[in-house]
Amino acid sequence: MDLFAGVVNYLVFFGISAGIYAVLALGLNLQWGETGLFNIGVAGFYAVGAYTSALISGPPPDVWGGRIVGGFELPFVVGVLAAAAAAGLVALLIGIPTLRLRADYLAIATIGIAETIRLVLKNEAWLTNGVWGLQQIPSPLYGGIHRHTSGFLRANPDLPSWVAQIVSRAYNGFYLLLVAAVLVVLYALLRRLAGSPWGRVLRAIREDEDAAAMSGKNVFAFKLQALVLGAMVMGIGGALYAHYVRFISPASFEPLYGTFIVWVMLIIGGTGRHGGAILGAVVVWGIWAATDFVADHLPFSAPQVAALRILVIGVLLEGILVLRPGGLLRPRRPRRPTPPPEPQIR
Amino acid sequence: MDALARVPQLIVYGLVSGSILSLGGIGVSLTYSILGFSNFAHGDTMALGAYFALAALSVLSGWGVSNRPWGALSFGAAFAGALAAAVILTSVAVVLLDRLLYRRLRGAGRITLMIAAVGVALGLRNAIQFAWGPQPLYYTTKIQRAALIPGLGVRIKPDQIFILAVAVVLAGLLHLFLRRTRIGKAMRAMADNASLARVSGIDTERVIIWTWVIGGALAAVAGILTGVENKFVLPELGWQMLLSIFAAVILGGIGNPYGAIVGGFVVGVSEEVSTAFVSAGYKPAVAFGILILMLLVRPTGLLGRRD
């Protein structure tokens, strides 16, 4: 039965991680799936959200690390909202110079901003503690729930050990519910938005930007709104991550990998489908976790195994692109392919 | 004053790193103009070339080829052979990638190709890490003394002169190739208007293969020269330079190989000179700043045409 407790606790942990990734994938789905914006700086917006929330809700600067600002100990909700606002602001700054230009420029600029954010996190110790990262980020309601569970365990010392093991991790169960609640709210909201006239304009832009402009839509404004809103969702994902792991450092936000896995999730799930974003997050995170188990039995060193796992995800992506470009959940209506590149080659 | 006094020396370093960025940028520019997408795997192609050279060097040394330094340089015959082998291997590798992957996605649009390229970037980098490990590996452990250039008060190492010379020679050869050879002219025609090139009887698949061969070869050289300059190679070597390369390409006018050369030197010098004033850790951010500034002021680049 101890094994059962271990499995339950692992599944809770798995659910939280997959849920946070699903939030990121939903944000990316608004940008890429709905509007066709190519953002490869997901990790940057995620990091901005995580750090903002940690600085707003976290403890004041400690004696070491070098940070001199932040740590207002404000409630969790304030931190999450601030995270969304900060990530949205960064997206605004990136969107203005690039969204009037071809897709490539936004892509390059988002790589650039993700890299620049990582450098700032690493170098500006007055704000971020540099490579030491931010510690003791509070988890919402942790104290209260922990008091209850430990009180319950003390009052019932003769519980079977597997029950005790599950109860002692009850906080993670609560956090899973919290992540799930956020996910459901975002899912409902984004679906509603996608079904609204506003969402229809986004899809019109995705299908044919010139036609949308000809119908009198301000394409630039709509793209900017989609980019900013999507980034805000990613910022919320970052905040959920920070308050769960309670310690963040620049190493948590490796730009290409953090972005790439979210892209793979969305593409595998089915671009343009909100359900696909969530399904993809669960499937890809499941594959990722499974490779971790398999990796233990391979005769390779730790860095080799790490490389091999990413390689597997990369090959999976290329396979999906070539063999099943629509993803697991195909778009609802048959879609005209995206407009061909100008120098079109067959 | 102290910072300003360092500027002439930093310009020299900037010209050296600019040579490498130029060579990397040419490939990005060619793939962009002929295949129609931004190849985010180009940096990692450079890293692949650098590691192929490392492998070839140990094979050649195993065969007894001497690597006794040529003159004041830090390397000799074995390294030159390794460079040639790496150039060929890298070209073959990128052509294979095109046949296996990019060719199948050509009808799927620009963004699908870019996503595929991001996947290739991560794949190459991790394949390198799998094969050679994450630690730095050294081309040579010799320490080379920098020589003082009389009159200018700056120092330069013989290897750095070699890097500059290689960049200048290769840029010249590229120019001759694009202007004088049939395939070079076909490439320019296809960059201008692919459909028109096709109806005029140009074998576009052949042009595409040549584009990959040239881009891959120059990427390999750029990666190897990075290894020569740093003395070591890392799996992240190319990824770390990608932003600077794209800044260079956009600065010069994306799709224009000559622009990439100019942009490479401007970005290289700007990055190095910036270290006199801001932390050296921000070099990629400086490149990014140049990029954003250029997009705001003149998105077509210095030598670019209307998009």
B35 to A119: CB separation less than 8 angstroms, yes or no: no
**Which region holds residue B29: left if phi is over 0, alpha if psi is between -120 and 50, else beta?**
alpha
- Tens of pLDDT, residue by residue over B96-148, are 999 999 999 988 888 889 989 999 999 999 999 999 999 999 988 777 888 88
Interface membership of A312 toward B (CB under 8 Å): no
pLDDT at B157: 92
Fold (CATH) for B2-140+153-297: ABC transporter involved in vitamin B12 uptake, BtuC (1.10.3470)
Average pLDDT of the residues in B276-291: 89
Higher pLDDT: B170 or A289? It is B170
Q: What is the mean pLDDT of chain B?
A: 91
Residue among B37, B242, B281 minimizing CB distance to A119: B281
Smallest CA–CA distance from B243 into chain A, residue = A112
Chain B residues whose CB is inside 8 A of the A271 CB are: none
Distance CA A254, CA B129 (A): 16
Residue among A108, A303, A342 minimizing CB distance to B36: A342
Chain B residues whose CB is inside 8 A of the A307 CB are: 126-127, 129-130, 134
Is A311 a domain residue? no
A338 to B110: CB separation less than 8 angstroms, yes or no: yes
A40 to B307: CB separation less than 8 angstroms, yes or no: no
User: Amino acid identity of A287?
Assistant: I
Higher pLDDT: B12 or A64? It is B12
pLDDT at B305: 60
Domain extents in chain B: 2-140+153-297
Higher pLDDT: A337 or A97? It is A97
Q: What is the mean pLDDT of chain A?
A: 88
Chain B residues whose CB is inside 8 A of the A321 CB are: 105, 108, 112, 115-116, 119
Chain B residues whose CB is inside 8 A of the A341 CB are: 36-37, 109-110, 113
Total number of domains in chain A: 1
pLDDT at A346: 47
Q: How far apart are the first and last CA of chain B?
A: 43
A311 to B123: CB separation less than 8 angstroms, yes or no: yes
Q: What is the DSSP string of chain B?
A: -HHHHTHHHHHHHHHHHHHHHHHHHHHHHHHHHHH-S--TTHHHHHHHHHHHHHHHHHHHHHTT---PPPTTSS--HHHHHHHHHHHHHHHHHHHHHHHHTGGGGGGG-HHHHHHHHHHHHHHHHHHHHHHH-SS-EES-----PPEEETTTTEEE-HHHHHHHHHHHHHHHHHHHHHHHSHHHHHHHHHHH-HHHHHHTT--HHHHHHHHHHHHHHHHHHHHHHHHHHHSEE-TTHHHHHHHHHHHHHHHH-TT-HHHHHHHHHHHHHHHHHHTTTS-GGGHHHHHHHHHHHHHHH-TT-SS----
B110 to A103: CB separation less than 8 angstroms, yes or no: yes
Half-sphere exposure of A27 (CA within 13 A, CB side): 32
B119 to A307: CB separation less than 8 angstroms, yes or no: no
Predicted model pTM? 0.90
Percent of the residues in chain B that have a pLDDT greater than 90, as a whole number: 68
- Tens of pLDDT, residue by residue over B21-52, are 999 999 999 999 999 899 999 999 999 999 99
Residue among B32, B105, B282 minimizing CB distance to A119: B282
pLDDT at A338: 62
Smallest CA–CA distance from B299 into chain A, residue = A101
B242 to A111: CB separation less than 8 angstroms, yes or no: yes
B106 to A346: CB separation less than 8 angstroms, yes or no: yes
Domain limits for position A8: 2-254
Percent of the residues in chain B that have a pLDDT greater than 70, as a whole number: 98
Chain B residues whose CB is inside 8 A of the A298 CB are: none
Smallest CA–CA distance from B124 into chain A, residue = A311
Residue among A108, A257, A313 minimizing CB distance to B38: A108
Confidence of residue A254 (pLDDT cuts 50, 70, 90): confident
CA distance A100 to chain B (A): 10
User: Amino acid identity of A246?
Assistant: R
pLDDT at B165: 96
B285 to A343: CB separation less than 8 angstroms, yes or no: no
- Burial readout A166-190 (b: 16 or more C-beta within 10 A, e: otherwise): bbbbbbbbbbbebbeebbeebbeeb
Interface membership of A346 toward B (CB under 8 Å): yes
CA distance A51 to chain B (A): 19
Distance CA B44, CA B55 (A): 16
Is A296 a domain residue? no
Q: Residue B2: is its pLDDT beyond 80?
A: no
Smallest CA–CA distance from A37 into chain B, residue = B111
Q: Residue B81: is its pLDDT beyond 50?
A: yes
Q: Residue A340: is its pLDDT beyond 60?
A: no
A257 to B101: CB separation less than 8 angstroms, yes or no: no
Is A67 a domain residue? yes
Chain A residues whose CB is inside 8 A of the B254 CB are: 104
A342 to B242: CB separation less than 8 angstroms, yes or no: no
Is A196 a domain residue? yes
Residues 236-265 of A with CB under 8 A from B: 256-257, 260, 263
Q: Residue A171: is its pLDDT beyond 80?
A: yes
CA distance B223 to chain A (A): 20
Residue among B121, B195, B295 minimizing CB distance to A344: B195
What is this model's ipTM?
Answer: 0.87
CA distance A259 to chain B (A): 10
pLDDT at A239: 96
Q: Residue B306: is its pLDDT beyond 50?
A: no
Confidence of residue B307 (pLDDT cuts 50, 70, 90): very low
